[in-house]
Each structure stands twice: as structure tokens, then as C-alpha cells.
Amino acid sequence: MYPRSIQNLIESFKTFAGIGEKTAERLAFSVLSMEKEQVKNLSDNLIMAKQNIKRCKKCNNLTENEICDICNDKARKHDTLCVVEEPKTVFSIEKLGTYHGDYHVLNGLIASFNNINPEELRIDTLINRIQNSQYKEVIVAVKQCIEGEITALYIKNILSDMNIKVTRIASGIPMGADIEYIDSITLEKAFDNRTTIS
């Protein structure tokens, strides 16, 4: 029904995660109302991003170089290692500007029912890094879910004889949320992990 070029563009947008028919149509029409130069830029930037971005040889984060800017940053404290599921989380934490340690990107979580075993994740390189460094603490910053729980426990276990503190970011009620709408598991965790008012 659409002219072929528009239909092709809509189909391309539909391959994005979480983009359905309606949004793909909206994006395609948005392209048509852009300046030619702007569309050329987007088209080039797509190719460049796919071409240039690779994984950091050290932490497995996204980078344009062999070693990412964070790993290369001499000013950072190399006594703490934050383990995350995917590169996106690195950027979310970096935006806070409060964490200054190293990162390690697993590229997934352990999910035996989906056949994602520890061997498929970057856990071997994690152990390797920890053995060859002076880390005092490993912070596991993964999703609050069964797979996250399993992955955190697995890491805790394999590091148990290494005299290293393994922590997990807190689970609880998000800021501003109404307690009556919070699921029972989160509420239970919030009670269990209650902190002293000082």
C-alpha cells in the first residue's frame, strides 16, 4: 500500500527491538520530512557505529579502541570492580559520576533453563582479571531477578577463597513509588535490607 521505498524503510525500522508497526511508520514519515543532509548523516552514522564499535579487550565494554577509555583512565581507582550484565549499564552508572572503579561486562546472566551457562559469559576472564589485580571489592550490579540472583551467587562462590569482598547493589522501593503498588518480593527485600536511621 505504501510506495516501495517507504515500505522498505518501515520494515527496516521494525527490526529494532521494541519497535512495532505504528512507531516504524512514524519514524519513516519522520525521515521523509528531514533535510537530505540529515538523512545522509543518519545513514552514515549507522554504518560507522556498526563498523567502529568493538569490545574492550580488558572489560568487554563497547569501545572504538582495543582498550576502552575507562580501563585506560589512570585517574580511576583500580581497587573496585563492578560486574554488569551489558554495556548499557556501564553508561548508566557512569552518568551518575559517583563510581570511579573498574567494570566487567558479562554479556548476559546465567540462565541454565535457557542454556546460558557460566562458560558462555565472561566469567573466566573475570576470574583472570581478579587473580591478576589488587581488587578489594567486587560489586555485582545486575538485574533483580532469578538469573541475576543465580549469577551473583555464582560469582560470590567462585571468589570465596580469594579474600575479596563481594557485594550486590541494594534492592528496595524506588524513590517516589507508592508502597501499595510495589510487588511483594520487592517489599520483602526492602524490609530485610532495612537500614538504620542515623
Identify which of 89, 92, 133 has the alpha carbon closest to the alpha carbon of residue 109: 89
Nearest residue (CB) to its own copies, 32 versus 185:
32
- Which region, left, alpha or beta, applies to residue 182 given φ > 0 means left and ψ of -120 to 50 means alpha? beta
Nearest residue (CB) to its own copies, 15 versus 198:
15
Nearest residue (CB) to its own copies, 14 versus 189:
14
DSSP string of 147-198?
A: HHHHHHHHHHHHTTTS--EEEE---SPPTT--GGGS-HHHHHHHHHT-----
- 73 in contact with its own copies (CB under 8 A): no
Q: CB of residue 186 vs its own copies: minimum separation in angstroms?
A: 22
Rounded to an integer, what distance in angstroms lies between the CA atom of residue 122 and that of residue 104? 8
Site for its own copies in 41-60 (CB under 8 A): 41-53
Q: Are strands 54-55 and 62-63 parallel, antiparallel or unpaired?
A: antiparallel
- 6 in contact with its own copies (CB under 8 A): yes
DSSP letter, residue 118? G
- 91 in contact with its own copies (CB under 8 A): yes
- 31 in contact with its own copies (CB under 8 A): yes
- With CB under 8 A, what is the number of residues at the site for its own copies? 53
Contacts with its own copies by CB under 8 A lie at 1-6, 8-9, 11-13, 15-19, 25-34, 36, 38-53, 62-64, 68-69, 87-88, 91, 94-95
